[in-house]
Amino acid sequence: MEKIIEIKRIPRIEGHLDFDVKITNNQVLYAHAKAVEGTRILEKILIGKNYWEVPEITSRMCGVCHAIHKLTAVQAIENAFNLEVPEDAILIRKLIAIGGHIQSHLLHLHFFVLPDCFDVESILDLININRELVLKVIKLKKFSNDIIERLGGTMVHPIVPIVGGLSRPPRKSTLLRIKENLNEMKKLAIPIVDAIFNARFPKFERRTNYIALCDEKSIPLLNGFIASSNGLKFKPSEYLKYFIRKKESYSTALHYLLMNDESYMVGALSRLNINFRYLTDQAKEFCKKYNIKFPMYSPFANNIAQALEIIHFLNETEEILANLIGKKQIDYYTNFIPKAGDGVAATEAPRGLLIHHYRTDRDGRVVWANIITPTAQNLKNMEIDGINFVKALLGKTNNIKKEVEKLVRSYDPCISCAARFYREE
């Protein structure tokens, strides 16, 4: 008996993804994650563009993780120009990245995942069940968006981060305003995160390779080397030696594997599996309260990891703000002359490791570009998890589709990012 489970346009994820699982005689043959969104050939558009246009264009890859795409592009070009950026500018960029992470995590956890746990269709139904929680989520989301808007100029596709630093420094009153709200937000975050810890996720474990940035003192977002759970450790500029890309005819996204053909996972779970020692005290208390121990091996634990990160990043915001407010003057920009170069930047997007790589000519125009997004790296691992998850489910549930949707969603896939790339034949 042959059967293909076809899930079309999975709802409540970012972008258009179909997921097929083929079953013959109770054997799961394959699982295909099919990005069906149009390829926007960004890497091709970038060629010949001025260096300052690049962050503007790459930011448009994604409406959810726009901030990190912009920051990564800026950093990669700065690396190509061999540029030292003032530390204050880096701190403000980090705040913008944190705002982006909290916003994206809330969107994923509460708008996309939580309806599954309450067995409802969407967050609109949740409003009727637990209006208070939804209002709290909205308030915290507003705060994180506010960080991006106040420091970055706009909420989506922030304007301020540019090659060399920032286009303008924030006013002190802006920083104080954010700080003023922070205490309330930290309180607000507790029930929000509790809701995720109390939610029930399917039980399924499969150990894989977990890859994230690591600097051996924090949970880095914008710097560090690339580390894996099986002991790999390398500089971002060496990434081409470790990752191989694979083209699948069924998908507009590229897929990535490690050199030994093994799949790997990036994202909040990988970040914490590698860096859990550096969680803030408050986040560690949550781990204790709910008896959570890292490393964890279930893809569904990605949700838990994201929830912990919300607490962690709120604490980090407090530290960075205290540091910035204490300064007399904010040093925000370095002058430079564009030059020919080769620059790689690796950062942590909300969904995981993100790599931008540009080569420039001596006028600072792009001659070659390569971008590896987190979701493109996760797709292969998602397919293998899909096979094993469906195997475990066979005969146990009538609604395999819904369970597979949950699995895909737990990866927090972002197909707009993944399906953007030019494929030269």
Partner 1 sequence: MKMSYERNTKPKVGIFTLSSCEGCIVQILNLEETLLEILEHIDLVDCRVLGVKHVYDKLDIAFVEGCVMSKEEEEEIKKIREKTKILVALGDCACSGGKFMMKDFEISELRVSLPGGREVFRADPIDKFVKVNYYLRGCPINREEFVELVKDLLLLRLFKESPLSVCSECILREQECLIDQGYPCLGPITRGGCNAVCPYNNKICYGCRGLSEDANIDSLINIFKRRGIPVPPYLLSLKKLVISKR
Sign of CA dihedral 316, 235, 148, 99: negative
| Per-residue x/- track, 313-342, partner 1 (CB under 8 A) | ------------------------------
Q: Is 38 in the site for partner 1 (CB under 8 A)?
A: yes
Q: Which of 79, 208, 228, 251 binds partner 1 (CB under 8 A)?
A: 251
Stretch that binds partner 1, among 32-40, 196-204, 222-230, 237-245 (CB under 8 A): 32-40
| Residues numbered 378-417 forming contacts with partner 1, rule: CB under 8 A | 416
Q: Quick one: DSSP state of residue 122? A: S
Amino acid at 141: K
Taking the complex as a whole, how short is the minimal distance between the CB of residue 61 and partner 1, in angstroms? 6
Q: Which of 5, 22, 32, 37 binds partner 1 (CB under 8 A)?
A: 37
Q: Which of 74, 102, 147, 155 binds partner 1 (CB under 8 A)?
A: 155
Q: Which of 4, 29, 41, 176 binds partner 1 (CB under 8 A)?
A: 41
**Which CB atom, from 31 or from 67, has the smaller least distance to partner 1?**
67
Q: Is 14 in the site for partner 1 (CB under 8 A)?
A: yes
Q: Quick one: DSSP state of residue 111? A: I
Q: For residue 359, list its beta bridge partners.
A: 342, 368
- One DSSP character per residue, 165-215 reads EESSPPPHHHHHHHHHHHHHHHHHHHHHHHHHHHS---------EEEEEE-
Q: Is 359 in the site for partner 1 (CB under 8 A)?
A: no
Stretch that binds partner 1, among 78-86, 123-131, 200-208, 215-223 (CB under 8 A): 123-131
| Per-residue x/- track, 47-76, partner 1 (CB under 8 A) | -xx------xx--xxxxx-x----------
* Maximal C-alpha separation, the chain: 73
| Residues numbered 71-90 forming contacts with partner 1, rule: CB under 8 A | none
**Which CB atom, from 95 or from 155, has the smaller least distance to partner 1?**
155
> 333-368: b or e for each residue (b if 16 or more CB lie within 10 Å)?
beebebeebebbbbbbbbbbbbbbbbbbeeebbbee
Q: Which of 22, 32, 139, 186 binds partner 1 (CB under 8 A)?
A: 139
Is residue 164 a contact partner of residue 78, using CB atoms and an 8 Å limit? yes
User: How many helical (H) and strand (E) elements, i.e. helices and strands, does the chain have?
Assistant: 14, 14
Q: Residue count at the site for partner 1 (CB under 8 A)?
A: 59
Q: Which H/E stretch holds residue 354? A: strand 352-360
Q: Which of 27, 30, 87, 168 binds partner 1 (CB under 8 A)?
A: 168
Taking the complex as a whole, how short is the minimal distance between the CB of residue 93 and partner 1, in angstroms? 14
Q: Is 9 in the site for partner 1 (CB under 8 A)?
A: yes
**Which CB atom, from 274 or from 414, has the smaller least distance to partner 1?**
414
**Tally of residues, the chain:** 425
Q: Is 30 in the site for partner 1 (CB under 8 A)?
A: no
Q: Is 160 in the site for partner 1 (CB under 8 A)?
A: yes
22: three-class secondary structure by DSSP? strand
The span from the CA of 393 to the CA of 204, in Å, is 10
Is residue 290 a contact partner of residue 194, using CB atoms and an 8 Å limit? no
Taking the complex as a whole, how short is the minimal distance between the CB of residue 161 and partner 1, in angstroms? 10
Q: Is 157 in the site for partner 1 (CB under 8 A)?
A: yes
Q: Which H/E stretch holds residue 369? A: strand 366-372
Two structure tokens written together for 304: 């838990």
Amino acid at 113: V
Q: What are phi and psi of 295, to 5 degrees?
A: -75, 150
Amino acid at 76: A
Alpha helices in 81-166 (DSSP H): 87-106, 114-117, 123-129, 131-152
Stretch that binds partner 1, among 21-29, 83-91, 158-166, 232-240 (CB under 8 A): 158-166
| Per-residue x/- track, 171-210, partner 1 (CB under 8 A) | ----------------------------------------
Sign of CA dihedral 261, 227, 87, 311: positive
What are the residues binding partner 1 (CB under 8 A)?
9, 11-12, 14-16, 34, 36-41, 44-45, 48-49, 56-57, 60-64, 66, 107, 111-112, 115, 121-124, 127, 135, 138-139, 141-142, 145, 153-157, 159-160, 162, 167-168, 249-252, 416, 422-425
